[in-house]
Structure 1
Amino acid sequence: ADQQVRISVSHTTRAPRTGEEHGREYFFVDVDSFLDMIAEDAFFEHAQVFDNYYGTSKQAIFDMLDQGLDVILEIDWQGARQVREQYPDAIGIFILPPSLAALEERLTGRGTDAADVIARRMSKAVSEMSHYDEYEYVIINDDFEQALGQLKAIFAANRARTALIQDIHRDLINDLLS
């Protein structure tokens, strides 16, 4: 695992699934608490998906960024737009399934959703995929190890971007150029 990368833990109003823990997969909150957080501008991005709310805490993201970490936000295209409005340097990576059949098989294989919920998720996924071209990178998750390798390469390349290097290594660059 890349020690410089963290996955953000979102807040949600949905009920925990079997085996999920508060603070690990999600921060599970009630609707009133979530709406209060929206009113307090506590979210980097938030959305209503089906019958539940999801949102990414600004404070949690900024805390990780302040530690020099790269942060993965698992969000939909609308959330990605909200993030870009506030943080234009954010890098978007869209992960596509190898096929719709493979996606449906993965959703069914989880064994957590009824057939009608899976049908809704499939419909939403097709809509979601139509926005792939709004992202800087696209990874096709056909082979997990290969997809992970591509993801790591994207992180490595972006850590070496000139603007980022100038911020992080300003003193070194000034010493080298003086």
Structure 2
Amino acid sequence: MTRLTVLAGPTAVGKGTVSSYIREHYPQVWFSVSATTRAPRPGEVDGVHYHFLSEEEFDRMVESGSLLEYAVVHGRHRYGTPRAAVEEEIARGGSPLLEIDLQGARQVREAMPEALFVFLAPPSWEELVRRLVGRGTETAQEQERRLASAKVELAAESEFDRTVVNTDVSTAAREIVELMGLQPQTTRENP
């Protein structure tokens, strides 16, 4: 039986990096295309990178229950996961994976409790701090805010079915794919 797998974890743990690795090396895994109310950036294609919606269209999806989860990001734009595409992928026997934040994972748990919830954890608190600070993409104040959020997010680990420690991206990716019940395909980059 196929089911949805939800991947979440604290800020700076590497969810995006691990998901990108899975997308590149495990083509049998299906990723949903999120809906958003923000405008497309240069080069982004509607239906490929995101489903770009008006505020009114997004409101209609929320009201009709057409989103598995949704949130306001950075206090400005809304993002969500369209329910129908995920359900269609499960029905066809595919292997859907959602990489979302803790808030979204909790909403999916309410909507689809049969999903597999995987928590991506750092090897240590010190490594999480090193990764966040090492990115150099946030101000010191933003780093402090994110680290405070990370402490709260780490405390939610017990809400998940399984934990994968992100010590190494390729290893974490392989463990997630195996938890999904898939046999990792061997490639030159993935022996």
More helix by share: 1
For residues 66-124 of structure 1, give each alpha carbon's deviation from its aligned partner in whole angstroms, at most 9, with x where no partner exists.
Answer: 11011111122222222222222100011123422243146x35x5x666555544443
Structure 1 residues 25-64: aligned runs within 5 Å: 25-51=49-75, 52-64=77-89
Looking at structure 2, the residues matched to 50 and 125 of structure 1 have their Cα atoms a distance apart, in angstroms, of 16
| Cα pair 1:6 1:72 within 8 Å, conserved | yes
For residues 137-168 of structure 1, give each alpha carbon's deviation from its aligned partner in whole angstroms, at most 9, with x where no partner exists.
Answer: 111212111111211221127xxxxxxxxxxx
| Structure 1: gaps spanning 5 or more residues | 158-178
* 2:181 matched residue in structure 1: 156
| Structure 2: gaps spanning 5 or more residues | 1-24, 183-191
Residue 151 and residue 57 in structure 1: after superposition, are their counterparts in 2 closer, same or farther (change >3 A)? Answer: same
Q: Which amino acid aligns with 1:96?
A: A
* More RCO (CA 8 Å, sep 6+): 2
Looking at structure 2, the residues matched to 137 and 120 of structure 1 have their Cα atoms a distance apart, in angstroms, of 27
For residues 33-83 of structure 1, give each alpha carbon's deviation from its aligned partner in whole angstroms, at most 9, with x where no partner exists.
Answer: 222211122101112233132211011101111110111111222222222
* 1:11 matched residue in structure 2: 35
- Partner SS for 1:35: helix
Residue 44 and residue 140 in structure 1: after superposition, are their counterparts in 2 closer, same or farther (change >3 A)? Answer: same
Structure 1 residues 1-178: aligned runs within 5 Å: 1-16=25-40, 20-51=44-75, 52-98=77-123, 99-105=127-133, 108=135, 111=137, 119-156=144-181
| Cα pair 1:97 1:103 within 8 Å, conserved | no
Identity value in percent? 35
- The aligned length equals 155
Q: Which amino acid aligns with 1:22?
A: D
Specify the structure having the higher radius of gyration (Cα).
Answer: 1
Looking at structure 1, the residues matched to 92 and 48 of structure 2 have their Cα atoms a distance apart, in angstroms, of 20
| Cα pair 1:4 1:68 within 8 Å, conserved | no
Looking at structure 1, the residues matched to 55 and 143 of structure 2 have their Cα atoms a distance apart, in angstroms, of 24
**RMSD of equivalent CA atoms:** 2.8
Looking at structure 2, the residues matched to 40 and 55 of structure 1 have their Cα atoms a distance apart, in angstroms, of 13
| Cα pair 1:45 1:55 within 8 Å, conserved | yes
Q: Which amino acid aligns with 2:116?
A: I
Residue 50 and residue 126 in structure 1: after superposition, are their counterparts in 2 closer, same or farther (change >3 A)? Answer: farther
What is the TM-score of this pair, normalised by structure 1?
A: 0.71
What is the TM-score of this pair, normalised by structure 2?
A: 0.67
